[in-house]
Amino acid sequence: MAQAPRAGQGSARLTHALSSAPRWPELALVCVGLNLAETGLVMGLDPGARPDLAPQASAIAPFGVFGDLRWISVYQYSWWALAAELTAMLVFRGAVTALSIGLSWPEHVARPSPARLAARGVIATALASLLLVPSVALLFGLAAVPVSWLFLAAVPLALLVAFVIHPAAVSGDWWRRFFSLRAIGWVALAFAVLSASSAAMSAAPRVLWPAVAALSGLFNAWSWFGIVHAVADRAPSRHKVPVAALSVATLAAVVVGGTIVGFDAARKSPADTFGPLAVPPEDGGGTGTALLVVSGYGSSWDGTSEHPIPGNFIEQPFSYRGLTSSGSPLPYDGADTAKPFTKLGRMLLRQVAALHHRTGRRVDVVAESEGALIAKTALLAYHDPYVAALVMASPLVSPGRVWYPTTGNTGWGVASSTAMQLIGDAFQSVSPVDLSPDNPLLASLDRQGPLVREAMVCPLTGTRQFALLPLADATATPATIKLPYPSVVLPAFHGGLIETPAFAKIVSEVLEDRPVDGDQLLALAEKAISYAASAWQVPSLAASAYPKSAGARPAASCGQIASDLRRDAK
């Protein structure tokens, strides 16, 4: 009972201070102006993009720094450019932070000098940048390979960092003080509102973008006012325990540990638990539908019989090593999955043809993650008449949204490319995705990113398509993506869908050409998550910035995309 009056009095004091503060108009002008400036720059320099990150241009620390770093992760062409951009960011973001804090400072509390505020702003920006680098690197990798595990590792870590270091620019002794619950509440509210603002930016027509930017700027001014009052208007600390440092270490350990557990769960292939395989008879007889099952990146197969899709199907696993002289699939391991997608596409078409000739039937293809990308691009390029249906589980809907040069080369994202290499090395033993830019698969996606991205949302001629989308992957898929084929959303994480009963039921319905009923609530949740997640992804590299070899063709038809895929496969 004693807490309620204090909370109510605090809210009343903030409202009164906000209405009477002589600097409130200036603070609102700064925040609205910064958001409008970023919106205008995006609209002018990259007309095809949406300014999803613009609401964060004036956000409370460290969300503004987080937005700046994600822009820099995409748009730096050399190490010298990176150094210049980081220096400019430290000066600019430090000054914005100091100005915002100064304009928000409580009237009844002695305000630090402008020089001290500026120094704190720059130091807090540098500290936030250092702590947010892992999250930015993971999100850059997410734009290259849209696997939700990367988002689920990066964004919670960034939010937890914000919970810990938000007072760094306000208080000189923040590192040894217990946290203000009121300030943490402002951080959580800011995260939610920034997510909603970017969702509105993604959903709104172009003419409303300035209005969204202005409204989010007003909220940012309010949140600056609230968090500065919550941190500055406190009694001096008597504690000498480095609470903040201990919290950062603990939270980082929790998030990294959780990431390892998640990656390990995604890495484990369901192939180890499959039942007997219905082997295609040599004389082409049998009663089932011919089915080629394509597993994802990092999968393996030891040559034993498998039956991943229950039902009357004559199944054969796709081998990332190829076929024997008699046309049987060869055992393979995870290293075999790291090949250029064009090469794997040609291998898939040969195995489809071999299965068709052995069974005398058209072939249905069920493919997951990397396998879905391989099957989709190959079938779009060549319109294989043998394939009746393609079912894609956990498809990589929008890969290659950034550029990252291989080791020793220069180009957009050169520093982020190095960060991807370091992450790949760190999680190599547990991650289903090797983020190394020298990985042959990622290197091929990098060279043809825009082409592959457009190919994944094209229809197929003569082949039915269906997609099963794990709900978690909504965090990795741009909200504006529209699939031209049926899909359902399942309450699952990326990878491993093939082993679930819900997947088996839906696949049977799709392959038998029966109606499939999806959960409309899950579909709505998927769309809402996708819009909100746009606030925390890195911006896509402008199509005009890609080298010509990447196949960037704005508004290219699916026919032209198929032609380009055939050309590049040669």
Cβ contact 77:414 at 8 Å: yes
Do 216 and 193 have their domain in common?
yes
Within 8 A by CB and 6+ apart from 9, the residues are none
d(CA 473, CA 488): 12
Mean pLDDT value across the chain: 82
More confident of the two residues 235 and 192: 192
Cβ proximity of 40 and 214 under 8 Å: no
Residues 103, 232: one domain? yes
* Average pLDDT estimate for 523-535: 93
pLDDT, average across residues 358-373: 90
Q: Please, which residues bridge with residue 366 across strands?
A: 293, 391
Nearest CA among 380, 356, 345, 346 for reference residue 292: 356
Dump pLDDT digits (tens) for 54-100: 999 999 999 999 999 999 999 998 899 999 999 999 999 999 999 99
Q: Give the residue carrying structure tokens 């000054």.
A: 95
73 with 137, same domain? yes
Residues 139 and 49 in one domain: yes
Confidence of residue 279 (pLDDT cuts 50, 70, 90): very low
Q: Is 79 left (phi over 0), alpha (psi -120 to 50) or beta?
A: alpha
Of 279, 203, 173, 242, the closest CA to residue 50 belongs to 203
* CB proximity list for 358: less than 8 A, separation 6 or greater: 280, 281, 282, 284, 327
* CA distances (Å), origin 300, targets 233, 303, 523: 59, 9, 32
Q: Does 260 share its domain with 292?
A: no
Asked if residue 551 is part of any domain, the answer here is no
Beta bridge partners of 261: none
* Nearest-angstrom CA–CA distance, 328 and 348: 13
Query: What's the rounded mean pLDDT across residues 183-198?
Result: 96
Residue 370 belongs to what H/E stretch? Answer: helix 370-382
Indicate if 196 and 290 belong to the same structural domain: no
Is residue 504 one of the residues assigned to a domain?
Answer: yes
Q: What is the mean pLDDT of residues 518-535?
A: 91
The residue count for the chain: 570
Read off the DSSP letter of residue 20.
H
Tell me the backbone φ, ψ of residue 209, rounded to 5 degrees: -60, -45
| Last residue within a domain, chosen from 219, 239, 267 | 267
Cα dihedral 85, 86, 91, 95, rounded to 10, equals: 100
Residue type, 567: R
* Highest-scoring range by mean pLDDT, 76-80, 268-272, 451-455: 76-80
Q: What is the mean pLDDT of residues 430-442?
A: 71
Q: What pLDDT, on the 0 to 100 scale, is given for residue 289? A: 80
pTM as predicted: 0.86
**Residue 134 in domain:** yes
- Poorest-pLDDT segment among 50-54, 68-72, 251-255, 413-417: 251-255
Domain boundary among 267, 292, 320: 267
The DSSP element (H or E) to which 449 belongs, if any, is: helix 449-455
Q: Which residue has the higher pLDDT, 75 or 544?
A: 75
More confident residue, 537 or 398: 537
In contact, 309 and 315? CB cutoff 8 Å: yes
My answer on whether 183 and 289 are in the same domain is no
Between 431 and 390, the higher pLDDT residue: 390
Structure tokens at 175: 């590192």
In contact, 317 and 331? CB cutoff 8 Å: no
pLDDT band at 239 (very low <50, low <70, confident <90, very high): low
- Return the pLDDT at 286: 44
Percent of the chain with pLDDT over 70: 82
Does residue 179 surpass a pLDDT of 80?
A: no
pLDDT of residue 429 exceeding 90, the answer is: no
User: Does residue 83 share a domain with residue 230?
Assistant: yes
Looking at 222, 250, 267, the residue that finishes a domain is 267
Shared domain for 153 and 262, answered yes or no, is yes
Alpha helix segments (H runs only) across 178-335: 181-203, 209-232, 243-267
Q: How many CB atoms lie within 10 A of CB 486?
A: 13
Domain total in the chain = 2
pLDDT in tens, 24-35: 889 999 999 999
Predicted local distance difference test score (pLDDT) of residue 300: 84
> Containing domain of residue 328, as a range?
271-398+456-539
- DSSP-derived letter for residue 477 is S
Are the beta carbons of 442 and 435 closer than 8 angstroms?
yes
In Å, how far from its chain's centre is CA 227? Answer: 29
DSSP 404-456: -PPTT--STTHHHHHHHHHHHHHTTTT-SS---TTSHHHHHHHHTHHHHHHHT
Q: Looking at residues 238-258, what average pLDDT do you find?
A: 63
The greatest distance separating any two alpha carbons of the chain, rounded to the nearest whole angstrom, comes to 91
pLDDT at 234 (0 to 100):
73
List C-alpha distances in Å: 150 to 47, 154, 296, 300, 536: 28, 6, 16, 22, 12
Q: Are 256 and 332 in contact (CB under 8 A)?
A: no
475 within a domain of the structure (yes/no): yes
61: amino acid identity, one letter: A
In a domain, 221, yes or no: yes
My answer on whether 197 and 282 are in the same domain is no
Q: Tell me the pLDDT band of 274, cut-offs 50, 70 and 90.
A: very low
Domain-embedded: residue 559: no
| Strand ranges inside 38-133, DSSP E | none
How do residues 130-178 score in pLDDT, each as one tens digit? 989 989 988 998 998 888 888 988 898 899 889 988 898 888 777 777 7
Element housing 389 (H / E): strand 387-393
Match 């080369």 to its residue by tokens: 409
Locus of tokens 């095809």: 48
The string of pLDDT tens digits covering residues 477-495 is 888 888 888 999 988 888 7
Which one has a higher pLDDT value, 104 or 556?
104
pLDDT at 214 over 90: yes
439 in a domain, yes or no? no
Q: How far is CA 98 from CA 91, 95, 116, in A?
A: 10, 5, 9
Residues 497/368, Cβ–Cβ less than 8 Å: yes
Cis peptide before 62 (omega within 30 of 0): yes
Give, to the nearest 10 degrees, the angle between helix 558-569 and helix 370-382.
100
User: Does residue 560 belong to any structural domain of this protein?
Assistant: no
* 85-89, 235-239, 340-344: range with highest mean pLDDT: 85-89
- Give the range among 150-159, 257-266, 277-286 with minimum mean pLDDT: 277-286
- Measuring CA to CA, how many Å separate 144 from each of 172, 307, 355, 537? 39, 32, 33, 11
Provide mean pLDDT across the span 302-316: 75
Mean pLDDT of 356-368: 90
The pLDDT of residue 241 is 62
70 phi/psi in degrees, rounded to 5: -70, -35
- Does residue 323 share a domain with residue 247? no
pLDDT of residue 268: 47
Phi, psi of 489 (to 5 degrees): -105, 135
Residues 215 and 183 in one domain: yes
- Tell me how far the alpha carbon of residue 491 is from its chain's centroid: 18
Any idea what the CATH number is for the domain that residue 338 is in?
A: 3.40.50.1820
Q: How confident is the model at residue 276 (pLDDT cuts 50, 70, 90)?
A: very low
